Structures are given as C-alpha cells and as structure tokens.
C-alpha cells in the first residue's frame, strides 16, 4: 500500500511531484522518494520518514527536469530502510520505477536475475521489475516490448509507473488490482494512485482498467490493452470534487473536519437515486440468502446492517469479516453478497469478492472512491458520495454506509411487505431530520465532549458496551478509540459482561455504555442492568442520556447529553459523539490523529 505519482510536463516537475506526494501521504508515510530525468540521466532522491521529513533531508526541489516519478511508501516487503524506499532503478540506471502492490512470484524472478549477474540493493519485490526491464530491453532494444514482456513474467497485484533514459519525456504506467488514474491538462499530464494527488491541477481524469497500460508525455497519452497492445479509447471524466473539499477547511485535523462533514455526507447518501437502491434491494429479494461483508470499520458497519435488515425487513443478513471469508464457505450460486469499502481497494475485501464471484454469487458494493478496483469488479456498485476521506480512520464514510444500508433495508422491507411505503417514507424523513440534529449536536456538544475527554484521557483501559444494534456501535467506537489514542478499548455486547469480563471490573476500570432510549424498554433495561453490575463492583461508568433523565444521570459517573430524537436514530447520535470523544482524547494526548502509527488508509495487501 503506497502512493504513486508520475508527471510529464513542459516545466520543471519537482515541486508538482512534491505536492502530489503530500496529497498521497495518507496511503503510506514511512519513506518516500523521487526520480527525475535531468536531461542526461535519471537522478534519484529518497529516504525514510514522511514527505516533509524526507524533503528536509534530501531537498527534492533541487532536482531538475520535466519528467519524473515519485512514491510514498507503507512497507510490505522489506523493512523501512532507505534502500527499500522507492523509486527503484535498474542496475544500469536506465530504468526507474515506482510500484504499489505485491509481485507474488518475485523470489523466483530474483533468483533468476541473480543467476544472470544482477545485483539487488533492496529486499523489496519491486526491484525485481526494474532489473527485468533492463534484461528485456537488452534482448529487444525496444522499450514498449521490454515493458510488456517484463509484465508477462510477474504475478500479483501492481500499479507501476516507469521512466527511462532511452525515452526521455515519456512515462509508462500499468495497473492490475491496484488503483491508477490519469489526469490530463494543458502541457502537464499526471498519473497517480488517487485523483486527490492532482485535483488542484486538473479535474479531467481517465480511469485505467486492469491489464491496461498508458504511454504518456506532457501533451499526449495513449492507453493500450496489455494482451494485444491495441489502443483503447478512454472517456475523460470530470471529477466533481473540488480543491476545497479535499482540504481540511480550517479544522485542526482531517478527522475533525470529516466528523463535521457528516451532516452533508448524510444528505448526499440520502440523494442516491432510488433505482440504484432498488437494484440492490431486488438482489436481497431474489436471492436465496444475502450476506454483508467488510473488514475493520466496514465489518462493523456490515454488522449494523444485520440489525437493520432484521428490524426493517425481517430478514437475517449475516455479516462476515472479509479477512475471515476464506476460512468459511458461506456463499453459493444462489446467494448475493453486498460488500462495503470506503477505499474500494482493500485486499481482504477484494479477495472475498473474487471468491464470491468464483462461486457464481451475485455481488454488489457500496464504495466511496470512484473508479476503485472494487467498484469495477462487482455486478452493481453504489457510490456513497462522501467525498475524499483523508484521515486514516474512517468516520464520515462509515456513517454514510449506514445511511445507505438503512435505505436498502427499508426498500427490502417494503418489497417483502414487512413495511408499508408510508412507513418507509417516514423513516426516510427521520434520516433527513437526523442530518439536521447531528449538525446541532456537533456544534453544541463538542465543547462538553472535549472537556470529558480531557478528564479521562489518562485512563488506559476501557470497555465499550452495547446491546442489539448498540453492540456493533460499541465495537466500532472502541476501534476508533484504539486507533487514535493507542489506548486499550474493548468492545463487547453488554449481555456478555457477566459471562466473564466482569472479573476485570474494579475502581480503575472505565466502561462506556451505549444506552438506548427509554422507548426501547427491553434494550434500555437490560443495558441499565449491566451498568448496575459494573457500578456494584465500583467500576466507573460513562454513558448517554437525555437532559431530563435525572434517574439515569444519578447512576452514572459521567454522561453525554443526547437530544430527543426518534428512538431508532439514537445509536447513530451516540456513534458520532463517540467519534468526537476518541478525537478529543487523542488530541489531549498529543497524538498524530490523522495518521496513527502503524496504519495506512487503504490496506491493499493481505
């Protein structure tokens, strides 16, 4: 998982490449580098650290030339070292490449190349490709031949961009199972892992498909099929995201901005066309069994989906974590699987899709990133239109997925005659109201949540608990807390407590309970009972309640005040408040909130 950028221009490219790297940094930030053809030969600068740190060490802007490639890395094969950072030159320095993905057969290829006398400086899989290029060029003396023949030899997933001394001013790039997009402009053309990299320069974009390659100069591009080298005519898409959307918009962190974006992203999700939702809803009706699949946060969202389908459509839709999918045999020809993925690039989810398709199952997806691998692989894809999510941890994209699942569940409920259209419309209206209420909660409660986070940020161990739909809400909230604060937060069903975890409770243990509204009598009372169990053992309890609920307040050590809303929407309010609680806890601890240690935005490796 890494970010790739390549630019051919009529001007110097170092500063443009640097900007694209900064925009791609969320994809990985343990090392980075640049190679630029300086008029005589390719020059390289790279080192370990994030983009600004490396720039400080090596001074990218001193590099001269108008054609170059750049890379920001998240280590997979080979440790975080300068040798392993990209770009990787061939032994003779006539080729330089940047790569995202994994060459699964690189060890065999490396062995063969070593036998031929090639030397390897790094322990990466990537360097194999640079030397394969040199080796193939030696045979054919033709760059395109060398590029295509080298690609024939490799297996695995890749997005690659290459420059060569033999053809200055030209960039070669190709993709399979890893994202790559082209940006076209007057006199400067771009290739990148993500539209965000160049959105401030151009919105005219071309999506590259798997096994397609592009030969690009500053004022031309030619896309070809790898199998027969035939030219492909590609549509230029105008991206709607603007520069401002991709920026922090005055917030101190992307995470905070993205939490505050949520009223708008909910509205966007509510504007998704009915026929899009209908198409997926029909799959739930027409297929014998449906599943909801995602990983990490999106698995927890899939679990929330299970409760929504149960509630609104009286249908059991099990959630499966993509990474566990290969260990189960859940899917048959008559089944339908709905995949969730913000990035649309997650390896585990892509592999689960592949397995589902191999079984002949019908596939659909809810994805945020337009043109991403998952969106192109499934039978039907809904784009959630949340805009770019830059913070490594997911907030707005996750909530939008819930809103879309909610609408699909309502539609399935109507099709199954479990809900009338009138009832479904009423719920739809409540979701619109929810956008308003969230806006108010964010503006009015942030200060209080921040205060509480400051008071509790020294607590090292948390239990996050809930029952019913509040259980996956607790799991997701605990994940957020872990990711940004590095504190231990364990999510569990509150009914589980007395079956073991209660042993941990003493005056030092803090629990956050996701408490339903009183209208949900059974859920409310049984969650309250679990709170009592903790309180009896002197454990500290934080929870949510209405302003006038003095009885509940008396039981709690700390509480967040929630507004009076429809009882089905309470879990979503609590989810958003818990996002803020994690954010402010991490802020108080002075952590790198947008890029937590050891994590990266899209996990494209297994």
Q: How many residues bind ligand F6R (CB under 6 A)?
A: 15
Q: Which residues pair with 192 in a beta bridge?
A: 5, 181
- 184's tokens: 């076209």
User: Is residue 456 part of the contact set for ligand F6R (CB under 6 A)?
Assistant: no
- 346's tokens: 């997650």
User: Is residue 385 part of the contact set for ligand F6R (CB under 6 A)?
Assistant: no
CB 17 within 8 A of CB 5: yes
Residues 265, 542: Cα–Cα separation, whole Å: 28
How far is C-alpha 207 from the geometric centre of its chain's CA atoms? Answer: 18
How far is C-alpha 133 from the geometric centre of its chain's CA atoms? Answer: 32
The nearest distance, CB 210 to ligand F6R, in angstroms, is 18
Q: How many CA atoms lie within 13 A of 266 on its CB side?
A: 26
- Annotate 65-89 with b (16+ C-beta within 10 A) or e (fewer): bbbbbbbbbbbbbbeebbbbbbbbb
Closest CA to 579 of 483, 490, 491: 483
DSSP single-letter state for residue 492:
E
Instruction: Tell me whether residue 195 or residue 603 sits nearer to ligand F6R (CB atom).
Output: 603
User: Of 296-304, 444-452, 489-497, 532-540, which part binds ligand F6R (CB under 6 A)?
Assistant: 296-304
Q: Which of 3, 101, 296, 468 binds ligand F6R (CB under 6 A)?
A: 296
Restricting to residues 316-345, which ones interact with ligand F6R according to CB under 6 A? 341-343
The nearest distance, CB 397 to ligand F6R, in angstroms, is 7
CB within 8 A of 315, min separation 6: which ones? 284, 290, 309, 412, 416
What would you report as the CA-atom Rg of the chain, rounded to the nearest whole angstrom?
Answer: 26
User: Is residue 494 part of the contact set for ligand F6R (CB under 6 A)?
Assistant: no
Per-residue binding letters, 394-433, with ligand F6R (x by CB under 6 A): x---------------------------------------
Would you call 2 a catalytic residue per the annotation? yes
Q: Out of 2, 32, 292, 545, pick the active-site residue.
A: 2
The nearest distance, CB 407 to ligand F6R, in angstroms, is 19
User: Is residue 596 part of the contact set for ligand F6R (CB under 6 A)?
Assistant: no
Q: Which of 51, 393, 405, 531 binds ligand F6R (CB under 6 A)?
A: 393
User: Of 120-128, 184-192, 228-236, 295-303, which part binds ligand F6R (CB under 6 A)?
Assistant: 295-303
Q: Which of 194, 323, 483, 594 binds ligand F6R (CB under 6 A)?
A: 483
User: Is residue 297 part of the contact set for ligand F6R (CB under 6 A)?
Assistant: yes
Instruction: Tell me whether residue 399 or residue 424 sits nearer to ligand F6R (CB atom).
Output: 399
The nearest distance, CB 351 to ligand F6R, in angstroms, is 12
Which segments of 165-235 are extended strands (E)? 171-176, 181-183, 188-192, 204-207, 212-216, 221-225, 231-232
User: Is residue 603 part of the contact set for ligand F6R (CB under 6 A)?
Assistant: yes
Q: Which residues are catalytic?
A: 2, 601
Q: Report the interface residues with ligand F6R, using CB under 6 A.
A: 295-298, 341-343, 346, 349, 393-394, 479, 483, 602-603
């Amino acid at each position: 998982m890494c970010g790739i950028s390549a630019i051919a221009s009529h001007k110097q490219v170092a500063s443009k490449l640097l900007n694209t790297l900064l925009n791609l940094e969320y994809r990985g930030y343990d090392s980075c580098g640049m190679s630029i053809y300086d008029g005589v030969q390719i020059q390289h600068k790279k080192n370990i650290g994030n983009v600004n740190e490396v720039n400080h060490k090596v001074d990218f802007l001193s590099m001269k030339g108008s054609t170059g490639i750049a890379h920001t890395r998240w280590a997979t094969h080979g440790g975080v070292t300068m040798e392993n950072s990209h770009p990787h030159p061939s032994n003779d320095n006539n080729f330089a490449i940047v790569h995202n993905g994994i060459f699964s057969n690189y060890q065999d290829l490396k062995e063969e190349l070593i036998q031929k006398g090639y030397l390897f400086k790094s322990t990466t899989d990537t360097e194999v490709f640079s030397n394969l290029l040199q080796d193939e060029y030696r045979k054919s003396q033709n760059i395109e031949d060398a590029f295509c023949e080298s690609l024939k030899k490799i297996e695995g997933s890749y997005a690659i961009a290459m420059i060569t001394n033999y053809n200055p001013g030209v960039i070669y790039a190709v993709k399979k199972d890893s994202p790559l997009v082209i940006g076209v402009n007057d006199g400067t053309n771009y290739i990148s892992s993500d539209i965000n990299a160049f959105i401030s320069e151009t919105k005219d974009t071309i999506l590259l498909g798997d096994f397609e390659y592009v030969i690009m100069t500053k004022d031309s591009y030619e896309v070809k099929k790898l199998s027969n080298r035939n030219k492909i005519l590609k549509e230029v898409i105008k991206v709607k995201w603007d520069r401002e959307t991709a920026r922090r918009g005055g917030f101190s962190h992307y995470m905070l901005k993205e939490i505050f974006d949520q009223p708008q992203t909910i509205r966007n999700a509510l504007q998704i066309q009915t026929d899009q939702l209908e198409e997926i809803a029909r799959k739930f009706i027409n297929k014998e069994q449906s599943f909801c699949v995602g990983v990490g946060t999106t698995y927890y969202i899939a679990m929330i989906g299970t409760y929504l389908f149960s509630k609104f459509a009286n249908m059991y839709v099990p959630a499966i974590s993509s990474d566990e999918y290969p260990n189960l045999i859940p899917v048959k020809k008559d089944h339908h699987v709905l995949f969730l993925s913000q990035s649309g690039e997650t390896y585990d989810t892509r592999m689960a899709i592949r397995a589902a398709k191999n079984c002949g199952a019908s596939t659909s997806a809810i994805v945020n990133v337009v043109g991403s691998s998952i969106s192109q692989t499934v039978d039907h894809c809904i784009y959630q239109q949340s805009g770019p999510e830059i913070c490594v941890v997911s907030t707005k994209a996750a909530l939008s997925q819930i809103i879309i699942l909610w609408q699909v569940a309502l539609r399935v409920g109507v099709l199954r005659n479990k809900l009338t259209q009138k009832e479904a419309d009423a719920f739809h209206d409540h979701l619109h109201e929810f956008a308003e209420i969230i806006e108010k909660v964010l503006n009015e409660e942030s200060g209080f949540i921040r205060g509480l986070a400051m008071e509790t940020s020294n607590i090292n161990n948390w239990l996050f608990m809930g029952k019913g739909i509040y259980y996956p809400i607790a799991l997701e909230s605990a994940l957020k807390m872990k990711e940004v604060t590095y504190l231990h937060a364990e999510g569990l069903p509150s009914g589980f407590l007395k079956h073991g975890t209660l042993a941990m409770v003493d005056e030092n243990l803090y629990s956050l309970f996701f408490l339903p509204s009183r209208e949900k009598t059974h859920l409310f009372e049984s969650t309250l009972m679990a709170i009592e169990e903790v309180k009896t053992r002197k454990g500290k309890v934080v929870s949510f309640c209405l302003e006038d609920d003095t009885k509940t307040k008396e039981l709690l050590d700390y509480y967040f005040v929630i507004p009076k809303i429809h009882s089905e929407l309470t879990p979503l309010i609590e989810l958003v408040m818990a996002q803020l609680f994690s954010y402010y806890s991490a802020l108080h601890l002075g952590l790198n909130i947008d890029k937590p240690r050891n994590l990266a935005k899209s996990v494209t490796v297994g």
